[in-house]
Amino acid sequence: MTTKTKRIVALLLAAVMLVTVFAGCNKKPNTDTTGETNANTPTFKGEIVIGTTGPLTGSAASYGNSVKNGAQIAVDEINAAGGVNGYKLVYLFEDDEASGDKAKTAYDKLMDKGMQIFLGAVTSGASISLNDAIKEDGILQLTPSASQLEAVSVNKNAFRLCFTDPIQGQAMAEYAYNTLKLTKAAILFNQDDSYSTGIKEAFEARFKELGGKISVATSFVEDAQDFSSQLTRIAASDAEFIFMPIYNDKVAQIALGANEKGIKLPMLGCDGWDGVLGKYLKTDEEKKLVEGAIYLTPFLATDPDERIQNFVKKYKEAYDAEPDQFAADGYDGIYVIKAALEKMGLDSEEIDNEKLVQAMIGLEYDGLTGKMKFDENGEPNKSFKYAKIENGTYVAITQ
């Protein structure tokens, strides 16, 4: 190769390297995978990155997938309408398997990808494990479904969309005693789950305060598959009902076990029950096992409200499934963030974290999961709904 030829090759290589360097200097990655634009595609000023950690695998996977799916529908709607003040929302999700340690890794991955607002974590334990990191980073945290008090109470930049555990426990105690006129309770709870123990403690205290009796309180461990001993204790007691502040997979297992033992006591629960029909109790015979059960919830897919039915239709079309409360939480979470960004006056890709957090305080939003107004403690101050399982479906209880 001649010297002249070598120089030409060197110049060409240098030119290629310069093009590569400048192409890689974009502030945020290009998320357009189509490579095409058309007249109906909005032109955005920039991007705002929202991230979530939650379980996509493991025993709690249904909750993470629901939040992810509901949030994505909201993001798509907002972007199709031009974004937030002309800025496109980018939504990222990392699996944490509902584990505190894995949540830390998932959160770090999201921060490395440019996350600016955290819609998470989905579960309480995972959310609590991130308290220090969220405080240090200073970004807005809005958890859609972490109900334990410590998930938001320790950080001024943390908010939640759901009910807290104590509020749920107190509300169900009052409903059982005052509305249903039940005075003797059996409690069956998961001793390894902070959601379950937190609600149990609040229910027990309030029910006793009202004049009720806890006939028996019995627990199981996280990986339990056999509930015979607990159900035997309940059957031998004078309890008038079973209160089960647990998640839907365990509800289904216990309902099957109670049926085998001939236990016909009414069942009461909280928002973790949502999704038990269809996901775990699928046949008509299985659904009869929880006939008449009542649980507290912020959302019902059977609600005739037009907005809810539009969401249900979109969700079914996209995911071939009926949305549960967690999907609605994810959807509302994105729209609450949109409202906060607008209240703050979004005018740049660079978010002023302190201003965004201040915009959340006093923010009012009427969503799929009800009307809410966020206070300085990060709580949404939402009203309750109660659902009853009748003829294999969820029915709203009018009070």
Q: How far apart are CA 366 and CA 364, in angstroms?
A: 7
**Nearest-angstrom CA–CA distance, 271 and 244:** 11
Q: What is the chain's mean pLDDT, rounded?
A: 91
- Strands of 55-166 (E only): list them: 87-95, 117-118, 140-143, 158-160
Residues of the chain with pLDDT under 70: 1-40, 399
CA distances from 338 to 52, 309, 375 (A): 15, 22, 17
Per-residue CA distances from 311 to 119, 305, 366 (Å): 19, 10, 14
C-alpha 10 chain-centroid distance: 55
Angle at 349 between CA 369 and CA 134, to 5 degrees: 60
Cis bond leading into 224, ω under 30°? no
What phi-psi label fits residue 213: left (phi over 0), alpha (psi between -120 and 50 degrees) or beta? Answer: beta
Query: What pLDDT, on a 0 to 100 scale, did the predictor assign at position 7?
Result: 39
What are 217's two structure tokens?
A: 């309180």
Q: How do residues 224-262 score in pLDDT, each as one tens digit?
A: 999 999 999 999 999 999 999 999 999 999 999 999 999
pLDDT score, position 381? 96
* Tokens standing for residue 156: 């001024």
Q: Percent of the chain having pLDDT more than 90?
A: 85
Beta-carbon contacts of 38 under 8 Å, excluding residues fewer than 6 positions away, are none
Q: What is the pLDDT of residue 30?
A: 42
Predicted confidence at residue 39, as pLDDT, reads: 56
Local structure of 308: helix, strand or coil: helix
All structural domains of the chain, each given as residue ranges with its CATH number in brackets, are 46-162+305-383 (3.40.50.2300), 166-297 (3.40.50.2300)
Task: Find out whether 68 and 54 touch, Cβ atoms under 8 Å.
Answer: yes
Output the six-digit token pair for 378: 């990060």
